[in-house]
Amino acid sequence: MVQTRTLTNGLRIVTEDIPTVRSMTIGIWIGSGSRYESAEENGISHFLEHMFFKGTSTRTASEIAESFDKIGGHVNAFTSKEYTCFYAKVLDQHAKQALSTLADMLFYSTFDETELEKERQVIAEEIKMVDDTPDDIIHDYLDEASFGNHPLGRPILGTEETIQTFTRNSLIKHMDRCYTADNIVISLAGNKTEEVMEHIESLFGGLHSRPNHLERSIMAPSFLTGKTAKQKETEQAHLCLGFPGLPADHEDVYSLTLLNNALGGSMSSRLFQSIREEKGLAYSVFSYHAPFIDSGLLTIYVGSSLEQLDEMYEATMATIQDVKAKGLTVKELENGKEQLKGNIMLGLESTSSKMSRNGKNELMLGHHRSLDEVIQRIEAVGLEDIKKTAEYVFQTDYSLSLISREGTYPTTLWQESLL
């Protein structure tokens, strides 16, 4: 059972007690991501995430790592468009020690100038690595084509230019703006004790709070139909198509999830069967839906040789057109429901997945649906719901990003819309 406790300073603690395990997964979720950055700040949330591991007033970077290694645990972090998460998985008997180290990192990091310069180079290399991986960077290009100058259109890592401008003061300023009690959720899943809860309150109860200082209701993006082609010396052409999605809490999000699953979210999906199995045009073909607090993006990715780009594009558009016109079959819908239910239930068998689900839901949505309620919502989706969702998603135009050695669009792209 998921329970939520709010401290007097506004910080929320969400817990799922699992007394049958001997582990504890801890996640600290902060509403700090690339969405809440100006163009000049682009990448600062990710940069700050890195710097929290680089030493505090009482621990060096190596001592932070050792503090988890010596108790047989592990620690990591990630930054997304809308949040940053620091997480650790340890034996239940070491939960207080792990929390103390995480709190030390968040409250007492020194942001040493020497470490800052080294990490600036590390992140520059990370940006170059992504840029050298066409099937990765293509998705950043699609975000830009879909959202333009809106913060959701910018890369999470920032750029080599913006990261050069970050200073110790700018990192502290960003932390002061975003790392406040009202903007933080601590998620615990595992063998929880009241002693651990009291320890969290002692560590985080004094954190300052400034409700509403962070503009959570930042203007929703308009979906654009931008199209961009980049020239790179690649063996394959990498193509992404983008379509308007739905917010994370939209009533039709389960309908869209089932639609995506049938379109390109599994090995039995239409795109996989048509483009890979029947036509042999690609090794990698898939689709996914990325929901945000007020919008979303449905993405289709295909990688194939440049010589097969036109055929691949036409096959993809034909599949989309068929789904839009006819919807799904009864078999596709029923198979999709069982697959989705199985994925959800099997995915929640670890403390890590439970911690992640609960932390994200509390931070982004502010509520938690029980597994039974989720299953009921999935079961309630009908064929007409899928068709309505498909008609909304697959509108008359779409965004597109392409990477190829010639940097040229499919010749059929500029013909009359296949939609």
Q: Which residues are catalytic?
A: 49
> Cβ atoms within 10 A of the Cβ of 254, count?
21
301 close to 238: Cβ distance less than 8 angstroms: yes
Alpha carbons 170 and 173: distance in angstroms, whole number: 5
C-alpha span between 400 and 146 (Å, rounded): 8
In sequence order, what are the residues at sequence separation of 6 or more whose Cβ sits closer than 8 angstroms to the Cβ of residue 62?
none
Give how far Cα 386 sits from Cα of 127, 212, 257, 258, 326, Å: 38, 37, 10, 8, 10
Residue that the structure tokens 């931070």 belong to: 363
- Greatest distance between any 2 Cα atoms in the chain: 66
CA distance 96 to 199: 7
Sheet of 2-6, strands arranged across: 2-6, 12-17, 184-190, 23-30, 84-91, 74-79
Amino acid at 384: E
Q: Which two tokens stand for residue 347?
A: 């995915």
The 10 Å Cβ neighbour count of residue 149 is 11
359 membership: H or E segment, kind and range: helix 351-360
Distance, in Å, from the CA atom of 12 to the CA atom of 26, rounded to the nearest integer, reads 13
